[in-house]
Amino acid sequence: MNLGLGQTIGGRYKIIRQLGQGGFGQTFVAEDQHLPGENQCVVKQLKPVATDPLTLQTARRLFDTEAQILHQLGSHEQIPQLFAYFEENKDFYLVQELIEGEDLSQELVPGQQLNEDQIISLLKEILEVLEFVHQRRIIHRDINPQNILRRKSDGKLVLIDFGAVKQVSTQILEGGNTGFTVAIGTPGYRPSEQANGYPKLSSDIYAVGMIGIVGLTGLRPHQLPLHPDTGEISWHNQISVSAELTDT
């Protein structure tokens, strides 16, 4: 179903405003009416294209698995908590912690170069959160500046919008065809194996490295030159940094 402002789902989550919309459904800010005060959260709606019993059964199994993963990851203070997940009127819903803050695209401004110390500090914090994720053999699949928030309350970075959810929603959209290989991620921040639909743990590390290069050079990924022989991104001659950072 199409959600509207003021509508309540799950018997308790009242829709306040829309955050975004994509092929898989919509994202909203909602208020939990079962708790006192203004307890706001994020509601993600996943809409299957097909609603036949077999598709819904497959979607339900995938959704349950991914929700369990998100619940596990939410134990880290720099990953949003999963509050609830449920099915209603053949749509699937995730309810997550609302993170107040701005994403890294506000800090990585085109034409502005961050210094080496700033980039090292930034990368270390992202990698510390990612280490927690990778220890659980989970690939984020879509690390880019817009999926990393600077939390307003304490200034810490928060990793959001796990690609696992996109994986489920794409498979739901494809009618539950679990054999379908889909390329998830943001162009410029995903390596070739991920673009071909085969992400690895190292694919996330590549994306983090791209964030560092974008911050150092002040260039967007598509503006970076490619080496004529290897086709790899050639960024070292754009700036002057220490050999230790370049080799990392």
Catalytic positions: 142
Give the strand order in the sheet containing 13-22.
8-9, 13-22, 25-32, 40-46, 91-97, 82-88
Instruction: Round to whole Å and give the CA distance between 183 and 44.
Output: 21
Residues 194 and 183: beta-carbon distance below 8 Å: yes
Instruction: Round to whole Å and give the CA distance between 16 and 154.
Output: 25
Radius of gyration for the alpha carbons in the chain, expressed in angstroms and rounded:
19
Tell whether the torsion through CA atoms of 31, 35, 37 and 40 is positive or negative: negative
Query: Which amino acid is present at 215?
Result: G
Residues 194 and 185: beta-carbon distance below 8 Å: yes
Residues 108 and 211: beta-carbon distance below 8 Å: yes
Question: 149 - beta bridge partners?
Answer: 103, 158
Distance from the Cα of residue 74 to its chain's centroid: 13
Residues 96 and 81: beta-carbon distance below 8 Å: yes
